[in-house]
A and B are shown apart, each in its own frame.
Chain A
Amino acid sequence: MGPYHTMLIHFPIAFWVTATVIIIVRAVSDGWLAQAFDRVLVPFLFLGMLSGIGAYVLGMMVWPPDTLQTSPLGRNHMMAASWSLVYWTALMFMRWRVGPSIWDSTLNRVIMLLLGGLGGLLLVITATIGGHLAGSATYLTDLLRMIGWEVYATFYVPNWMLLVLVILIIAMPLVALMSRRTA
């Protein structure tokens, strides 16, 4: 399944990279081109999600689950791919639910700019690790190493950090709900 995964993965990468560009352009511009870009953002993200799910499923079939989940590179790729898929799907949901008013304030635009950048970074990380697995390592690995991620080491956090994550997962919607109630 490796070659088919490699073939299909071009599609979500293309859609999500384009989405990143659209978000950046729209965050800094109200011009007609930026607005036209924004109108295709949700469809692009939807197509990215569909092709992403396809590529993800094929990727899970390249090796048996035990093999994939025993390799540090395999684990990291699976993790980054899972996060990328969920991240861009969630972003699609947010843009669809909020509508064009998502660009209303400067703060909103800054947040969207950060989200777009983070999505692009996730994509780069996923593709870099995937390249390693396919035998095509790039120098981007050195960049990741510079920011503290050794791709040959499994990415996991200690128990206390898992607890912190649980607290954050609960705290963020609580803050949002409290804010809406007090509005």
Chain B
Amino acid sequence: MPRTLSKLLITALFAAGLLLSLMTHGTGVITHDPERNIWIPDELTMPLRLQVAYNDEDILFRYRWPQDEPHLYLDVLRYSDGQWVRYGTSPVGPDPHGIYEDRVTMLVDDGSVPEFSRYGGYLTVGDGMRFFTNAATREEIAAHPVLGPERRSDIRKHLPATRSDPGDWRTLVDEDTLAAQRRAGYFLDLWHWRAHRSNPIDVSDDQFVAQYRFGDSGRGPYFTNWDGETRQPRLMFDPDAVGKHALRWEDVSHNIADFDGIYYLAEDFAVPFDPDHAWQEGDVIPRRVLREPAGSRGDIRVDGKGRFADGQWDVTLRRALDTGNPQEDKIMHDGGVYDVGIAVHRHGTGSRWHYVSMPYQVGLGRKAEIQATRFEGDSPDWDQIATYDITLFYPGQVNWPRLNSEIHAGAEYIRQGVPVKFRHNEAQLAQYGVEIEFEQEIRRQWFLTLLLGVALIISFVMSASLLLGRKEED
């Protein structure tokens, strides 16, 4: 073979190896794996536009975010072959029929949980969380001396100091300690707006996170419409009020809903279920019934209407600065600075398949990352309210015990109190979140790539050495 041709050939082979590696890197490992509770969203980050305003009495948060279409349905019972079959429960990833409501949630603190201002929602993700690959099982939870009798079926958001070992969900501290923590403000307020379970009646759920995710005291904005004994709904649509007994599966499964129409069941137009009605194949009755919330749980309302238009949701939540419930809500004052972490569920996903924000500080008349604008009267002129564009990201299966373990290079920084934003950005955290879900597979593939890269370099240089020193014979 002519020497010049050989030189060109090995150079081309080496270059091809490098280019192909660059073009194909990062592929072949990451895939949806429902068996391990893994589903990776196509987009790892999303934008959210935030405005905050307050007057003497109330504070308002306005959230706007883009998505393809609104998802207004959730948890329905479909009449099929004489049975009422449940659809639209919290799935791994998006519901196959798109039957899962959009949501915006916001954790709020007043400085009583200092780590929250530095690490945001990561703080609430403990060991054994539901829908994680290593989620605690129902049997394990049922066997727990406290959570078992409380009839908990999963491990949800909780704060680290509610466990004697934050790396073990079982080590719940005693009741007196938990009560003392609550009195000291060691909990996070949780504003929880849902497109199906609260928005149609212009309210938001009001919850908090301590040793578990709880609803505030009082009456929630929905209840379950299912009779376990008869295996039928308890309520159905009042045909005299809304002109029908049920929704239709064709509409629900194709996500066809009209904000001004009926896509939910509420106490106001519900009547006892009639088993003798001539139910048709594909009739659908919502498994959740909306009702006016009361007590502390009904503190947060939708200001105006939460609507989807022109490719984006526009939701404004309103709450009294002082709700009078300091052990369930974070009371706010003019002149105060508060920490928030915002999350959005969209595209028909529930549970941990959400996008979350870094922690942000909101200042009421004080300088902060997000400045709440004071207004006079009942409603603000939103054109005059400062707007903040923030990025939300898919967090994957990163939990607080992991972040504080030796496996995390930044654990020492956490011990020193360095905020997450100092070393990480949203795109980075999203990428890390995904990679942790495939930790062993990626590590193996990376190591093989490293080794073969070394071998490729040695092979090329060795080959070139055989050729470069020779005079051209051709």
Contact = CB atoms under 8 A, between A and B. Distances in A.
A7 interface: no
Given A78-B450, A104-B471, A173 B463 contact: yes
A175 B6 contact: yes
B230 interface: no
Contacts of B443: 69-70, 75
B456 interface: yes
- Chain A residues touching B, range: 35 or more
A143 interface: no
A149 B452 CA distance: 18
A90 B25 CA distance: 24
Contacts of A68: 409
Chain B's interface: helix, strand, loop or mixed, by majority? helix
Interface in B1-43: 1-11, 13-18, 20-29
B235 to A, nearest CB: 50
Contacts of B457: 83, 86-87, 90
Contacts of B21: 157, 161, 165
Given A148-B22, A150-B431, A156-B25, A166 B452 contact: yes
Nearest to A69: B443
B407 A153 contact: no
Contacts of B448: 156, 162
Interface string B430-474: 011001000100110111111011111111111111111111110
A33 interface: no
Contacts of A101: 468-469, 471
Contacts of A74: 409
Given A91-B461, A156-B26, A176 B467 contact: yes
Interface residues of B, number: 69
B177 interface: no
Interface string A46-88: 0000000000000000011011111110110011001100110
A182 B218 CA distance: 90
Chain A, interface SS category: helix
Given A66-B407, A108-B468, A156-B446, A94 B461 contact: yes
A104 B454 CA distance: 28
Given A67-B409, A183-B3, A171 B28 contact: no
B427 interface: yes
A157 B465 contact: no
B254 interface: no
B408 interface: yes
A168 interface: yes
A169 B446 CA distance: 18
Nearest to A98: B469
A128 to B, nearest CB: 14
Contacts of A153: 26, 431, 435
B415 interface: no
A6 B188 CA distance: 41
Nearest to A99: B469
B46 to A, nearest CB: 17
B453 to A, nearest CB: 5
A79 B423 contact: no
B17 to A, nearest CB: 5
B466 A176 contact: yes
Interface string A8-41: 0000000000000000000000000000000000
Interface in B344-398: none
Nearest to A105: B472
Contacts of B449: 79, 155-157, 162
A179 B5 CA distance: 9
B453 A102 contact: no
Contact of B454 (A82, A154, A159, A173): A82
| 6 pairs of A and B residues whose beta carbons are closest in the complex | A158-B28, A179-B6, A90-B461, A98-B469, A176-B463, A156-B445
8 contacts: A72-B435, A87-B461, A93-B465, A111-B468, A156-B25, A156-B448, A164-B17, A179-B3
